[in-house]
Amino acid sequence: MSEVKKFMYLNRRAPYGTIYAWESLEVILIGAAFDQEVSLMCMDDGVYQLVKGSDTSESDMKNFMPTFRTLGDYGVRHMYVDKDSLEARGLTQDDLIEVAWEDYETEEEVDNIVEIVDADQVAKLMAESEVVFS
Amino acid sequence: MADLHTVNKSPFEKSSLETAIKCSLAGSSILLIEDGVYGATKGTVAEDMVKGAMGDRKVYALKSDLMARAIKDDRIIDGIEIVDYAGFVDLVEATDKVQAWL
Collect all residues of chain B within an 8 Å Cβ-Cβ radius of residue A53: 70, 72
* Length of chain A, in residues: 134
Q: Which of A23-32, A54-63, B34-43, B67-76 comes out lowest in average pLDDT?
A: A23-32
- Pairing mode, strands A37-42 and A6-11: parallel
pLDDT at B41 over 90: yes
The mean pLDDT of B17-31, rounded to a whole number, is 97
CA distance A53 to A5: 34
Domain count, chain B: 1
Q: Do B67 and A59 touch (CB under 8 A)?
A: yes
We find that the CATH architecture of domain A6-133 is 3-Layer(aba) Sandwich (3.40)
Q: Which residues of A5-42 are buried (b: 16+ CB within 10 A; e: fewer)?
A: eebbbbbbbbbbbbebbbebbeebeebbeeebebbbbb
What percent of chain A has a predicted confidence (pLDDT) above 90?
Answer: 79
Collect all residues of chain A within an 8 Å Cβ-Cβ radius of residue B65: 16, 59
pLDDT at A1 over 70: no
**CATH number of the domain bearing residue B60:** 3.40.1260.10
- Taking phi over 0 as left and psi of -120 to 50 as alpha, with beta for the rest, A66 belongs to alpha
In chain B, which residue's Cα lies nearest the Cα of A60? B64
pLDDT at A2 over 80: no
Q: How many interchain CB pairs under 8 A, A with B?
A: 71
Rounded mean pLDDT of chain B?
Answer: 97
Q: Which of A35, A36, A10 is nearest to A24 (CA)?
A: A10
Beta bridge partners of A114: A79
Rounded mean pLDDT of chain A?
Answer: 93
Q: Residue B1 — very low, low, confident or very high, per pLDDT cuts 50/70/90? A: low
CA distance A4 to A34: 9
pLDDT in tens, A31-77: 877 888 899 999 999 999 999 999 999 998 999 989 999 999 988 99
Collect all residues of chain A within an 8 Å Cβ-Cβ radius of residue B44: 88-90
Handedness of CA A37, A41, A47, A49 (dihedral sign): negative
Residue range of the domain that includes B94 = 4-101
Q: What is the pLDDT of residue A105?
A: 86
The mean pLDDT of A102-106, rounded to a whole number, is 87
Q: Residue B9 — very low, low, confident or very high, per pLDDT cuts 50/70/90? A: very high
CA distance B45 to B58: 20
Q: Is the full-model pTM beyond 0.95?
A: no
